[in-house]
């Protein structure tokens, strides 16, 4: 079948609804979706019945309320359509109520203490803006998940709240600029997903990869990514087959696969979907990550979505391309030919700059997780300091306006290739600094800090909320102005003079930037735990509350969940490390040291006293003693963490004591690996893992 034929074939999409739903129901549902209104409950019955019939034709026997608890993965219980009629025969049933609302037991999902005070029951509520689909015999219904009393317990609820908030506030600004037609502004997201693919059987033989998603040991391989020969290189056949199947699966789910290529590290790749409404893009990204894992397995591969599966080569991120689109099809971040006179654009641009400067601690928090701590600032990913790269021409426009100069508006530069037959290419000035955490890339901002395994939702919640707040503050300046141009120019002036410090067009990887950022007073929050604390700062609690995103108790709960998760992840890593040390590495070293000693004695008996062999044996013996002591201390530290009273103390201990100690152990074990017989080493080496697909 051709791509247009398979595209969306598993989705209860607009085409299916238009064909199958009674016309008035279809129109009403469309209106609900487009305007973000609540659904008329009378329609649910009709939609549910139609959805059920379609799903059964697609081979579904079950349905599930699919939701995103705060675990970075998705969840759902599968309910059968089949129920007994009064004669005990099976009939297929699915009511409007079952479509709209589910009541899963919330007690086994992270709730950050909300569960302690309220009933354990949670609710899932149908999100009609993200289409349902059939997958492996089950109808998947995207839903939001909240507690018995309505507190959000998931990623989607706050995202939808923030999308609503930014829409309402953006429309108010559009009205000031004379646009009285727009009814909805949608935050769009384009997500780029990095990942590794390695051989399945090698993956299966490493406990660290299986349990933690990353290697806890592994000596530096002779070749990493230094030759730059993998990036965008020819895609190996096995990987190409995987990508082909992935494309197909995603097309069936109505996801537009936009690009695929090899990334910088060996065995690393990237996939990007075409941008769409942030809510759908987030759902699609979750689905993509799940399909990647499944399809990899079918191809004898393992897909690693961890931020730092391997030391010594690049880690993986997720780029979140953020913009606002009005329902008349316009991108509010499109600068047009002359940004200096595009007043509406200037207002939105300044709102974004101000928002990032004011709430950079929250933006940093949105990209924080145990995995990303291993990646940020590692000369492969943006540093922990938040800044914006605007590109020189746009920055000059703002500066000229702010300083009251006549605007020397940018005319495009053209590349000189020196070859007449090649076309002349306009130079895209804004985008080419790849080191910035947030870059303006022509008509959107690209947030490059997110970790590959993270849900994109929270980052978008933060960006939407912060921008909403600043637009709210701009509103009276604009409404009270007698002259709109001077009001806009005063906003530009204020933005550059008070928030210009957040703009940096240079190399974010350089040491000088760290110094410079310090002078500018920009926060440099190096660890996740410190970043999480920004969620419960007075100023930020107020931001969330004023914009109806999170109540104070929701913020406190989220903070608690993030800390708790951090502690658990690192404790699990430490336990895996301890097991690998005691049951794999130490026995292997002892065995090899024994072999070496035997050889030494055999040779000595034959009259040869080889001091090199003796020194290898004694080096191994030192490693054995050191690693044995370390493994004992590691166990003590794991026990100690359990005795700490607050999750904050435990998280600080995990971040500042346990992780560094684990690094130290790794260094010793990796050295031991380099002098141990390969056939005795108990698991595959880095060269095996990175170059054997
Ligand atoms: P790069 O590697 O240069 O960052 P890619 O082509 O890999 O670029 O990815 C760009 C991403 O940005 C894609 O997901 C694309 O759909 C998305 N995108 C393009 N325009 C917009 C926009 N206006 N709003 C949000 N995302 C966008
Ligand atoms: Mg990118």
Ligand (nearest to CA of 270): 1
Q: Which residues pair with 439 in a beta bridge?
A: 389, 446
Give DSSP secondary structure letters for 52-86.
HHHHHHTT--EEEEEB-BTTSS-B-PEEESEEE-T
* pLDDT of res. 223: 85
Which 3 state secondary structure label does DSSP give 191?
A: strand
* pLDDT of res. 415: 58
185 with 333: CB under 8 angstroms?
no
303 with 197: CB under 8 angstroms?
yes
> Do 279 and 312 belong together in one domain?
yes
pTM attached to this predicted model? 0.95
10 with 58: CB under 8 angstroms?
yes
Neighbour-count burial of 598, counting CB atoms closer than 10 A to its CB (0-12 exposed, 13-18 middle, 19+ buried)? exposed
Tokens read off for 526: 């190096």
C-alpha triplet 286, 289, 292: angle, nearest 5°: 150
* pLDDT of res. 417: 66
> Do 334 and 189 belong together in one domain?
yes
Which residue has the CA at smallest separation from atom 26 of ligand 1?
190
Pocket test for ligand 1, best of 192, 324, 348 (most atoms within 8 A of CB): 192
**Is there a domain that residue 66 lies in?**
yes
Q: What is the domain-level CATH number for residue 10? A: 3.10.20.70
265 with 189: CB under 8 angstroms?
no
Ligand 1 site, residue 673, Cβ cutoff 6 A: no
> Do 333 and 473 belong together in one domain?
yes
Ligand 1 site, residue 323, Cβ cutoff 6 A: yes
Ligand 1 site, residue 263, Cβ cutoff 6 A: no
Last residue of one domain, picked from the residues 130, 154, 178 = 154
Ligand (nearest to CA of 276): 1
**Is there a domain that residue 321 lies in?**
yes
**Is there a domain that residue 198 lies in?**
yes
Q: What is the domain-level CATH number for residue 362? A: 3.30.590.10
> Do 133 and 192 belong together in one domain?
no
Query: For the chain, which residues score pLDDT lower than 70?
Result: 115-120, 379, 408-418, 421, 423-433
Ligand 1 site, residue 432, Cβ cutoff 6 A: no
**Is there a domain that residue 555 lies in?**
no
Domain carrying residue 82:
3-154
> Do 530 and 621 belong together in one domain?
no
Phi, psi (5° rounding) for residue 595? Answer: -60, -45
**Is there a domain that residue 416 lies in?**
yes
**Is there a domain that residue 556 lies in?**
no
> Do 419 and 530 belong together in one domain?
yes
CA distances from 618 to 418, 493, 592, 604, 625 (A): 62, 69, 12, 16, 11
340 with 401: CB under 8 angstroms?
yes
> Do 430 and 508 belong together in one domain?
yes
Interval between CA 360 and ligand 1 midpoint (Å): 23
Q: What is the domain-level CATH number for residue 608? A: 1.20.120.1560
> Do 443 and 494 belong together in one domain?
yes
151 with 555: CB under 8 angstroms?
no
Neighbour-count burial of 357, counting CB atoms closer than 10 A to its CB (0-12 exposed, 13-18 middle, 19+ buried)? buried
Ligand 1 site, residue 448, Cβ cutoff 6 A: no
Pairing type for strands 276-277 and 185-199 reads antiparallel
* pLDDT of res. 431: 53
Ligand 1 site, residue 258, Cβ cutoff 6 A: yes
CA distances from 316 to 247, 306, 371, 378, 432 (A): 20, 7, 10, 11, 20
* pLDDT of res. 105: 76
> Do 341 and 266 belong together in one domain?
yes
Interval between CA 275 and ligand 1 midpoint (Å): 6
**Is there a domain that residue 674 lies in?**
yes
> Do 248 and 334 belong together in one domain?
yes
Which residue has the CA at smallest separation from atom 1 of ligand 1?
192
> Do 58 and 76 belong together in one domain?
yes
Measured distance between the N- and C-terminal CA atoms of the chain, rounded to whole angstroms: 29
* pLDDT of res. 628: 98
> Do 507 and 647 belong together in one domain?
no
Ligand 1 site, residue 188, Cβ cutoff 6 A: yes
Distance between CA 402 and CA 398 in Å, rounded? 6
Look at the chain and report how many structural domains it folds into: 3
Phi, psi (5° rounding) for residue 189? Answer: -135, 135
Ligand 1 site, residue 443, Cβ cutoff 6 A: yes
**Is there a domain that residue 630 lies in?**
yes
Last residue of one domain, picked from the residues 550, 580, 601 = 550
* pLDDT of res. 119: 60
Last residue of one domain, picked from the residues 154, 173, 191 = 154
Pocket test for ligand 1, best of 276, 282, 321, 323 (most atoms within 8 A of CB): 321
């Amino acid at each position: 079948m051709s791509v247009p034929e398979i595209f969306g074939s598993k989705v209860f999409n607009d085409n299916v609804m238009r064909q199958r739903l009674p016309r008035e129901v279809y129109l009403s549902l469309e209106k609900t979706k487009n305007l973000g209104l609540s659904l008329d409950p009378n329609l649910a019955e009709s939609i549910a019945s139609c959805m059920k019939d379609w799903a059964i034709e697609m081979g579904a026997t079950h349905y599930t309320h699919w939701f995103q608890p705060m675990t970075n993965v998705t969840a759902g219980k599968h309910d059968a359509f089949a129920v007994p009629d009064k004669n005990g025969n099976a009939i297929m049933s699915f009511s409007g109520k079952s479509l709209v609302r589910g009541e899963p037991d919330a007690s086994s999902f992270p709730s950050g203490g909300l569960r302690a005070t309220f009933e354990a029951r949670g609710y899932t509520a149908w999100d009609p803006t993200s289409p349902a689909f059939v997958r492996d015999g089950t109808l998947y219904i995207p839903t939001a998940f909240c507690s018995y009393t309505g507190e959000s317990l998931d990623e989607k609820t706050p995202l939808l709240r923030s999308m609503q908030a930014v829409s309402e506030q953006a429309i108010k600004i559009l009205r000031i600029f004379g646009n009285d037609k727009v009814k909805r502004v949608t935050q769009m997201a384009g997500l780029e997903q990095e990942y590794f693919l390695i051989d399945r059987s090698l993956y299966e033989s490493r406990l660290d990869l299986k349990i933690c998603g990353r290697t806890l040991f592994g000596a530096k391989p002779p070749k990493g990514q230094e030759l730059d020969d993998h990036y965008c290189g020819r895609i190996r056949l096995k990987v190409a087959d995987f990508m082909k199947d992935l494309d197909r699966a995603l097309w069936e789910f109505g996801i537009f696969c936009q690009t695929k290529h090899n990334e910088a590290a060996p065995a690393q790749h990237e996939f990007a979907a075409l941008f769409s409404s942030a809510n759908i893009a987030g759902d699609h990204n979750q689905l993509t990550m799940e399909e990647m894992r499944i399809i990899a397995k079918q191809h004898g591969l393992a897909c690693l979505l961890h931020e730092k599966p391997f030391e010594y080569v690049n880690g993986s991120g997720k780029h979140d391309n953020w913009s606002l689109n009005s329902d008349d099809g316009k991108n509010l971040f499109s600068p047009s030919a002359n940004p200096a006179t595009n007043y509406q654009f200037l207002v939105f641009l300044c709102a974004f700059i101000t928002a990032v400067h004011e709430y950079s601690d929250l933006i940093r928090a949105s990209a924080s997780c145990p995995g990303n701590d291993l990646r940020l600032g590692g000369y492969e990913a943006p540093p922990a300091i938040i800044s914006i790269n605007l590109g020189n021409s746009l920055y000059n426009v703002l500066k000229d306006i702010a300083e009251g100069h006549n605007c020397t508006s940018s005319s495009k530069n053209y590349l000189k290739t020196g070859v007449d037959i090649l076309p002349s290419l306009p130079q895209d000035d804004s985008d080419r600094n790849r080191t910035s955490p947030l870059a303006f890339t022509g008509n959107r901002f690209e947030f490059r800090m997110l970790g590959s395994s993270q849900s994109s939702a929270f980052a978008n919640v933060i960006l939407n909320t912060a921008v909403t707040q600043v637009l709210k503050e701009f509103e009276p300046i604009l409404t009270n102005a007698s002259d709109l141009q001077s009001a806009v120019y005063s906003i530009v002036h204020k933005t550059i003079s008070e928030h210009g410090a957040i703009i940096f067009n240079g190399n974010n990887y350089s040491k000088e930037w760290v110094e410079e950022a310090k002078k500018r007073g920009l926060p440099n929050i190096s660890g996740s735990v410190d970043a999480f604390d920004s969620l419960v700062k007075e100023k930020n609690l107020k931001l969330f509350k004023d914009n109806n995103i999170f109540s104070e108790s929701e913020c406190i709960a989220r903070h608690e969940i993030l800390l708790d998760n951090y502690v658990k992840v690192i404790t699990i890593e430490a336990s895996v490390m301890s097991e690998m040390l005691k049951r794999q590495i130490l026995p292997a070293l002892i065995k090899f040291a024994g072999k070496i000693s035997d050889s030494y004695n055999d040779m000595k008996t034959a009259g040869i006293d080889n001091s090199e062999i003796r020194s290898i044996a004694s080096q191994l013996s030192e490693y054995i003693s050191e690693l044995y002591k370390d493994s004992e201390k590691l166990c003590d530290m794991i026990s100690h963490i359990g005795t700490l009273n607050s999750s904050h103390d435990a998280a600080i201990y995990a971040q500042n004591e346990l992780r560094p100690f684990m690094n130290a152990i790794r260094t010793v074990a990796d050295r031991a690996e380099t002098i141990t017989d390969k056939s005795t080493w108990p698991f595959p080496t880095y060269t095996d893992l990175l170059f054997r697909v």
